[in-house]
Amino acid sequence: MIPAPGTFAAGIAIFVIVVWDAFESIILPRRVTRKFRLTRVFFKFTWSNWKSLTRLIPSRKKRETLLSFYGPLSLLVLVGVWAVGLVLAFGMMQYGAGSPVNMNGGQPGFATDIYLSGTTFFTLGLGDVVPQTGLARVLVVTEAGFGFGFLAAVIGYLPFIYGSFSKREVNISLLDARAGTPPTAGELLRRHAYPGGNEALRQLFKDWEFWAAELMESHLSYPVLAFFRSQHDNQSWIAALTAILDGCALVKVAITDTCRRQAELTFAIARHAAVDLSQVFKTRPRALPHNRLPAEDLKRIRDMLASYGLRVGDISEMGERLAELRNMYEPYLFGLAEYLGLTLPPWIPPAKGKDNWQTTAWGRSAGLLEKEGAAIGAEDHF
């Protein structure tokens, strides 16, 4: 068969694009700012269509379940896209070199070259198609090496992704009993308004300073983690990050003690994470369609803080300072939440309810446990 240099060059181009994209996604531990990326195109296309599909489902619970499938499923499909791309690339190179192979029955051609590429990449080694020229042999050996390396990279990649996801979710689960479900800044401060609670709140902010830094580093390097949803429908990393930023803003504005400095540090890194992640997903900051902190809610928060002996200033001044701080992160988080199909939590619980730890799927058979949980959660509430 006559060599086709154009096909060979196209195969090399596909090979370079796929290998470089996989390297940036799996090996390179930093954000990639290049505009065109195979992975970015893949997620943009599949996520938009997946979200459109879920909108057809009326049940919120089923819709959330389907959305939760996307993260793990897209990861597996992306690995498959890379594998198909490499098989196609080497098949095109073999075809561009003139299909210099011997086979048992039939004539060499593009289909045979793709078959040889597939069996080589997945290290099957059937031997029914044998390369004959030096170039063909080099391509086969090179592809076998890349196939083995690709498998090793994927084996190391998947455990890291799930380890990072699990690490992210630990603090989100811990926040359930500390800030309610979904977490709110008002409930966070209320539940720490006890003797010694200020130190506990300071330690919590310190823990979340590290959490926000780890979130930023892991999700900038591996953005697919952002599509992995929490175990409960009323929890998410967006809601947790928002509640912590809200809580830090409240402490910065209304509380003048040792906890304030830690709140400032946590606010800085949490806001940094929110802004950088919005840049990764190219979600522009958007104005919220409604005010998350209306005047009546702000008054309730101020009265609550004052009732626990905290010195708070004038409510109008407090509202102005909070508005300045909120403008630093709310538009970015709202843009991210809209893109990911998530919601931002309120500043205070909209109604008296139970935390996740107080509920059970066993229904009436666990009625006693639920009553005990409700009794514990029935302390002073907004």
pLDDT tens digits along 307-354: 766 666 667 777 888 999 999 999 999 999 999 999 999 998 877 667
CA distances from 286 to 33, 282, 339 (A): 22, 12, 11
Per the rule left: phi > 0, alpha: psi between -120 and 50, beta: everything else, 105 is left
Of 10-14, 29-33, 264-268, 299-303, which range is least confident? 29-33
| Structure-model confidence comparison of residues 373 and 136, the more confident one | 136
Of 53-62, 116-125, 351-360, which range is least confident? 351-360
Q: In the numeric block, which tokens belong to residue 29?
A: 């531990």
Q: In the numeric block, which tokens belong to residue 67?
A: 């959305």
| Residue 130: band (very low, low, confident or very high) from pLDDT cuts 50, 70, 90 | confident
| Residue 98: band (very low, low, confident or very high) from pLDDT cuts 50, 70, 90 | confident
pTM of the model: 0.84
Give CA–CA dist 155/291, Å, rounded: 46
For residues 23-45, give the mean pLDDT.
81
Per the rule left: phi > 0, alpha: psi between -120 and 50, beta: everything else, 308 is alpha
| Residue 243 confidence (pLDDT) | 94
Of 32-36, 144-148, 288-292, which range is least confident? 32-36
Handedness of CA 52, 53, 57, 59 (dihedral sign): negative
| Structure-model confidence comparison of residues 351 and 176, the more confident one | 176
Domains (range + CATH), the chain: 5-156 (1.10.287.70), 180-348 (no CATH), 351-382 (no CATH)
CA distances from 230 to 11, 238, 318, 339 (A): 41, 10, 33, 16
pLDDT tens digits along 258-270: 688 899 999 999 9
